Amino acid sequence: MKAMRLDIPPFSLRLANYLQLTKPRVVSLIVFCAVIGMFLAVPSGLPPLDVVLAATVGIALVAGAAAAVNCLVEQKIDAVMARTRARPLPRGEVNSLETLVFSGLVGGTGLTMLYQWVNPLTMWLTLGTFIGYAVIYTVFLKPATPQNIVIGGASGAMPPVLGWAAVTGEVSADALLLFLIIFAWTPPHFWALALYRTQEYAKAGLPMLPVTHGSEYTRLQVFLYTIILFAVTLLPFASRMSGWIYLAAAVVLGGIFIAYAWRLMRSYSDELAKRTFRFSIFHLSALFAALLVDHYIPL
């Protein structure tokens, strides 16, 4: 007799599919910014490591749950875009009910950890961030307005605020400066991506800025927002939150980002847009790393 073919994939493959639903690369940047917020919140020394661990895991779980909801809502859109068609839902590796249950379990676990082992404020802020991204941005803003990235960027800018609240139990002006940096960074970051994916977004019916206003207008907006971002990144130094190490990093990184945006505006190519997008990720990571170094080695 022939062995019966099992339609259920091996446990390791199913686990990998669930992990992919959480968008681990995106979550890693979210967690990185949250952890930096935790360390910056302490004037000197280190934050309580048990709080750091619990907050890191809790925030990561809720962020992963929000990403899974995003995949659930956008599975039909993902199926027609080259960048996303290999995700588990479009491939049929997991179904909608499994994704919903998975998101609920993971997100609920993360929120419980934050409430029990961190503090209620962090839990409520994280829940609000989840709703902002998974519901307000994904369900309402993204399919409705080309300003979806600008408005929805508030959710993406919350991680350092969550980290700050986890350690201090409050949200200070310095935490809001970190929020403002990511908020200003988000539009040029995502519009660089949208520029070389314009046809895919148009095919999916999403009103991204290059689709509704064209490439030239979007490239101008990318350039203008990089200038705004550059000015915003100087605020931690101006407010004496940081010192000369951070200022030097902010000037160099910001100058390179502006140079990319200028070239993108003047002489567009898909390859240049891809390089700009990739640099934007490095820009934010290096900027927050410089904040941390400056915090412990003030000059």
Q: Please determine, looking at this structure, whether the domain spanning 172-299 carries the CATH number 1.10.10.
A: no
Q: Are 231 and 241 contacting, i.e. CB atoms less than 8 angstroms apart?
A: no
pTM check: above 0.75: yes
Identity of the amino acid at 268 = Y
DSSP string, 14-37: HHHHHHHHT-HHHHHHHHHHHHHH
CATH architecture of 13-170: Orthogonal Bundle (1.10)
DSSP string, 240-270: TSS-HHHHHHHHHHHHHHHHHHHHHHHS--H
Q: What is the pLDDT of residue 3?
A: 43
Per-residue buried b or exposed e for 216-254, using 16+ beta carbons within 10 Å of the residue's own CB: eebbebbbebbbebbebbebbbeeebbeebbbebbeebb
60: tokens are 């990561």
133: tokens are 């991204």
Q: What is the pLDDT of residue 296?
A: 96
Q: What is the pLDDT of residue 14?
A: 87
Q: What is the pLDDT of residue 1?
A: 37
pLDDT per 10-residue tile (average), the chain, 299 residues = 50 90 96 98 96 98 98 94 90 95 98 98 98 95 93 95 98 98 98 96 94 97 98 97 97 98 97 98 98 93
Q: What is the pLDDT of residue 9?
A: 55
Q: Are 181 and 229 contacting, i.e. CB atoms less than 8 angstroms apart?
A: yes
Give the number of C-alpha atoms closer than 13 A to the C-alpha of residue 123, restricted to the C-beta side. 15
CATH 1.20.120 in the chain, residues? 172-299
CATH 1.10.357.140 in the chain, residues? 13-170
Rg (CA), the chain: 20
Q: Are 180 and 157 contacting, i.e. CB atoms less than 8 angstroms apart?
A: yes
Q: What is the pLDDT of residue 4?
A: 43
